[in-house]
Structures are given as C-alpha cells and as structure tokens.
C-alpha cells in the first residue's frame, strides 16, 4: 500500500464516492438491507472500483473498522452500563423529576442544551453524548414519550458545537497550530460564537424538527417503570456521579494544554497518571465502578443482580457499535482511495479570499470522505502558507481557524461514523437521521462560518 499511487483523477474519484454513497442509501432505504451489511458490501466494492491494491483491501477495511471501534466501542459500552445503572436504580427518574420541577416542561430542552454546552467544554463529543443520554431519555419519557428529538437534538448539537469550535478539543487546536493562531484568542472567540450557533442550529432546529417528526424514546437503557425502585438515589448523588468523568477529563485536557505551553512537564509521573485517569475511556470506567457501588451495593443490591443489570445494557448497543464501526470502515476506504489528496490538489488555487477558500475546501473534503479531522487538517495545511504570508491580525487568524473548523463539520452523512453513532443511539433510521442530524450539522457549519466572517471583518478594522 505504501508503494501504491492512485492514478485516477479527481472527477472519477468523486464519481466513485458519489456512486458509493448513493448505493448505500438505495440498499438501506429502498432494499431494506441492514446498515451493517450494506456498509461492508459498499466498502468492499468501492475499494475494488477505486483501484486499491487487492492485497491491501482487507487491511484497509479492518483498519478503518478497528480504528473507529478503538474508542467508540469502549465509550458506548461503558456509557450504556452507566446509563443502565442510573436507570435501574431510579436515579434517572429522580433526576428527571427534579429537572422538570425546576425548569418546567417547556424549558427542559433549553436547560438540557445549556447543561450539555457546559459539559462539552472538557468532554469530547461522543463521550459527552453517551454520558448524557440516560438523563435525556428519562426527561423525554417524563415529558413526552414520543418526542425524543425535542430533547436529544439540542443536547447533541451542544456537544458538537463545543467539540468543533472550542479548544482544547483537537480540531481547533490542530488548526491553531497549522495557522500559528493564538490559542487564547481562538478560545475567546469560540466561546462568543458557541452560544448563538448552538441556539439556532441546536435548540431552534430541534424544536422545529420535533413538531414534524414524532420519535419514541429508545429503550437503550431500559424502560422507566411506573413503580419507583426501593431506596432510589437522590438527584444530588446522580449529579455528583455524572460530574465525576467531567472532572477527570477536565484534568486531562487542562494538564495537556499546560504541558503544550510548557507550564508542566509530561515527564513527571503525577502528570502522566492524571492525564491517564482523565482519558475518556478510563474516566468512564472509573465512573461505572463508582456507579456500581453507589447505585448498587450501597442500595443493598447483591453482586449477581448488579452483574445482570450491567450485562443487560450491552445487547441494545451492540448494533450501534457495529454500525458505527462499519461507517468508519467506509470512510477509511474513501480516504485510502486518495480522494482527499486529489480534491486538495484541485481546490488549492481557487483565487478566493483565504478565509472563504479554507472553508470551502474543508466543506468539500468533509462531504467527500467523511472525516472532520482529515478535512480540517488538509484545508488548514493548504491555506496555512497564504495565512502566514498575509498581513493578518491575531483576531483575523483566529477567525480563519474557526472558519476552517466550521467547514470540517458540514453535513455529516453516511461516510461519517458520527452520523451512525447519533442516529442509532437516538433510534433513528437513515432517512430520519439525514433529515435531522445532517441538516443540523450543515446549519451549524454555515452559522459558524458566518460568525467567523464577522469576526474577521472586525479584526480588519481594529
């Protein structure tokens, strides 16, 4: 594979990518083929048609599958265990009752979104969403059993906005390094634009969609029984357990940021240990262990009963994990085909203002091959020389950074593993996910770019 060079041009590669995406939609929506099988079949066919060496096809498929599952499987499985323990103990119901009592039914979706914005500052998108889902589902059942989108979309959009625009998340940090942007200014501007972008693309869009699509609350963490469990935990206890992974992950991101700035040394053992404990998967593992004690043993449950509760959480999410991995496989095939490099060469000299060119390149790469990280790094790498050579103020460079990040999230669809993760966790089929989540990501991207343009203009004046 290292010696192989793609000989097809940009147009044939784009046609192959478009045909592969269309085939996935036909198989799943029209022929009703299971998404897991459809993604594997199309990934294999696409690899052949794109000319990837036969000897490297299986490695490419399994590498993409395994690379996605390396983080997703751990986070989803541990998150499901945590959610099932909270649900079974009665903690989710108790917290939902308190939440609705404080904020009211009408303001509950807004309050959930604000909570997710706060949690999303240190937590990665997938980890934060998985952790919040049991609470989202419990509140949705408490208010409306057939309207999970009203509560789920604002929260998911909040985690997405924070992940895209706010350091220390990897996207804006990577772009900042490539552009030589001041990370503090990027963080400040990101904080300013995050709320309005979320309010429109997450909260208002979630309300709009919920009026048109009725979606029942999935039973991923079990159904909320009418009978309250004996000795349920207090809402404050549930909140404390949910804040534990946030605290641990905040230690990780905070220390990593300080280490990159030279304030602390990663050679110190205590720094290494705290960074390890704050890894998303390790933080969730610690939280599950604490939840087992708090929501199980301390309530008088025995080991066998707790083991059965935890085991019952894995069956419902197995399909989510496998389909998400297969989505990662398809994206890996498109990347291995060289479509990103071909597009980058074709789009490199657009003759547009730098901030516009960087955004468009990121958008096209995102749509073509799925990975937001690849789209962001490639676009930033192409635009970096122009940014370095231009006479831009630090505020303008921060705006270019965020515009590129905005382009990298545009309209995630079937070649993006995150598309499958969100859709399957919320119980949506492919058509519904396209109409809700894909559109949300497009709105978020466009609004983020417009906000970055405004900041860019301000930077030119001051």
E runs forming strands in 122-185: none
Partners of 147 in beta bridges:
215
pLDDT attached to residue 132: 84
Structure tokens that stand for 372 in this block: 């937001």
Whether 222 contacts 201, CB under 8 Å: no
d(CA 409, CA 422): 14
Backbone φ and ψ for 108, nearest 5 degrees, come out as: -60, -45
Whether 249 contacts 256, CB under 8 Å: no
Distances in whole angstroms, Cα of residue 323 to Cα of each of 37, 354, 458: 9, 37, 44
Whether 80 contacts 72, CB under 8 Å: no
Sign of CA dihedral 418, 273, 116, 314: positive
d(CA 456, CA 182): 14
d(CA 268, CA 232): 42
Structure tokens that stand for 460 in this block: 């030119």
pLDDT attached to residue 2: 63
**Closest Cα to residue 177, out of 341, 384, 360, 382?**
384
DSSP state at residue 215: B
Count of CB atoms situated within 10 Å of the CB of 286: 16
d(CA 34, CA 31): 9
pLDDT attached to residue 359: 94
d(CA 126, CA 120): 10
Q: 337-350 b/e with 16+ CB inside 10 Å = b? A: bbbbebbbeebeee
pLDDT attached to residue 253: 74
Q: What is the pLDDT along the chain (462 residues), one digit of tens a residue?
A: 667 777 788 788 888 888 988 898 899 888 889 889 999 999 999 999 988 999 889 999 999 899 888 877 888 888 888 888 887 888 877 887 888 888 888 888 998 898 888 888 777 788 788 878 888 888 888 887 668 899 999 999 999 999 889 877 778 888 888 888 888 888 899 999 999 999 999 999 999 999 999 888 887 665 555 556 667 888 888 888 888 887 888 888 778 778 877 788 877 888 888 889 988 889 889 999 999 999 888 777 777 888 888 888 888 778 888 888 888 888 888 888 887 777 766 665 667 788 998 899 899 888 888 878 778 887 887 788 788 888 889 999 999 999 999 999 999 888 888 899 899 889 899 999 999 999 999 999 999 999 999 999 998 887
How many residues are listed for the chain in this entry? Answer: 462
pLDDT attached to residue 229: 66
Structure tokens that stand for 100 in this block: 């609705």
| Gyration radius of the chain's alpha carbons | 22
Whether 217 contacts 148, CB under 8 Å: yes
Count of CB atoms situated within 10 Å of the CB of 168: 17
CB within 8 A of 316, min separation 6: which ones? 80, 218, 219, 220, 221
pLDDT attached to residue 146: 67
Whether 92 contacts 135, CB under 8 Å: yes
pLDDT attached to residue 44: 94
The CA-CA-CA angle for residues 419, 423, 424, to 5°, reads: 115
């Amino acid at each position: 594979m290292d010696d192989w060079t793609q000989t097809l041009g940009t147009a044939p590669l784009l046609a192959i990518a478009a045909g592969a995406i269309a085939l996935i939609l036909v198989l799943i929506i029209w022929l009703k083929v299971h998404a897991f099988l459809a993604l594997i079949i199309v990934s294999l066919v696409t690899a052949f048609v794109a000319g990837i060496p036969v000897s490297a096809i299986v490695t490419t498929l399994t590498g993409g599958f395994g690379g996605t599952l390396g983080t997703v499987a751990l986070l989803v499985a541990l998150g499901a265990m945590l959610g099932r323990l909270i649900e079974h103990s009665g903690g989710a119901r108790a917290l939902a009752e308190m939440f609705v009592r404080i904020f009211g039914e009408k303001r509950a979706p807004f309050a959930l979104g604000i909570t997710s914005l706060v949690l999303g500052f240190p937590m990665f998108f997938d980890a934060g969403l998985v952790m919040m889902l049991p609470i989202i589902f419990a509140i949705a059942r408490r208010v409306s059993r057939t309207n999970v989108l009203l509560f789920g979309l604002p929260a998911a959009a909040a985690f997405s906005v924070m992940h895209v625009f706010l350091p220390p998340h990897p996207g804006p940090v990577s772009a900042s390094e490539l552009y030589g942007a001041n990370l503090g200014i990027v963080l400040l501007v990101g904080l300013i634009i995050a709320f309005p972008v979320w309010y429109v693309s997450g909260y208002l869009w979630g309300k709009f969609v919920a009026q048109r699509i009725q979606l029942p609350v999935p039973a991923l963490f079990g159904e909320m029984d009418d009978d309250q469990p004996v000795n349920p935990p207090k809402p404050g206890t549930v909140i404390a357990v949910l804040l534990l992974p946030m605290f641990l992950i905040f230690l990780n991101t905070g220390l990593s940021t300080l280490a990159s700035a030279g304030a602390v040394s990663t050679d110190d053992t205590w720094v290494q240990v705290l960074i390890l404990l704050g890894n998303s998967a390790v933080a969730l593992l610690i939280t599950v262990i604490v939840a087992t004690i708090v929501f199980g043993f301390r309530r008088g449950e025995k080991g066998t009963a707790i083991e059965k509760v935890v085991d019952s959480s894995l069956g419902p999410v197995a399909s989510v994990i496998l389909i998400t991995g297969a989505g990662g496989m398809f994206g890996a095939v498109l990347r291995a085909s060289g479509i990103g490099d071909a597009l980058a060469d074709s789009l490199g000299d657009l003759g547009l203002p730098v901030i516009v060119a960087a955004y468009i390149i990121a958008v096209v790469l995102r749509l073509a091959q799925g990975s937001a990280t690849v789209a962001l790094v490639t676009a930033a790498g192409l635009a970096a020389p122009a940014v370095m050579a231009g006479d831009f103020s630090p505020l303008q460079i921060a705006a270019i950074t965020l515009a590129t990040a905005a382009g990298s999230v545009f309209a995630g669809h079937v070649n993006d593993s995150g598309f499958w993760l969100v859709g399957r966790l919320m119980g949506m089929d492919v058509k519904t996910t396209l109409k809700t989540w894909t559109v949300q990501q497009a709105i978020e991207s466009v609004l983020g770019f417009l906000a970055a343009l405004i900041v860019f203009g301000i930077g030119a004046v001051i």
